[in-house]
Copies of this chain bind each other. A is one copy, B any other.
């Protein structure tokens, strides 16, 4: 099982819009093969940034989700409001735990 924890940084004043778009993304991927978790978070000390924490059955399932047309369209709409190039998220192999069925 694969966890990806990443950050996107919006242009000034656009963080709420970015968060809304990522909440839309969470709906798009909620039925994608292998998607276990896709949550949107905010750090009170970094108000221009929006975090996405995802758990997938495999990295391959995650990568395949990026090829879906509706997801690609959403990514294209997100890019103009980003204030910085997205950095590579942290990737983890999930060993187990509670809250998702492993």
Q: Specify which chain B residues have a CB less than 8 angstroms from the CB of A94 in the assembled complex.
A: 39-41
A95 at interface by CB-CB < 8 Å: yes
B99 touches A38 (CB 8 A): yes
Report how many residues on chain A are interfacial, defined by Cβ distance under 8 Å. 32
**Can you identify 30 A-B contacts, CB atoms within 8 angstroms?**
A3-B39, A3-B41, A5-B5, A19-B95, A23-B96, A26-B98, A27-B98, A30-B99, A36-B99, A37-B97, A37-B98, A37-B99, A37-B100, A38-B97, A38-B98, A39-B55, A39-B94, A39-B96, A39-B97, A39-B99, A40-B96, A40-B97, A41-B93, A41-B94, A41-B95, A42-B93, A43-B93, A44-B93, A53-B53, A53-B92
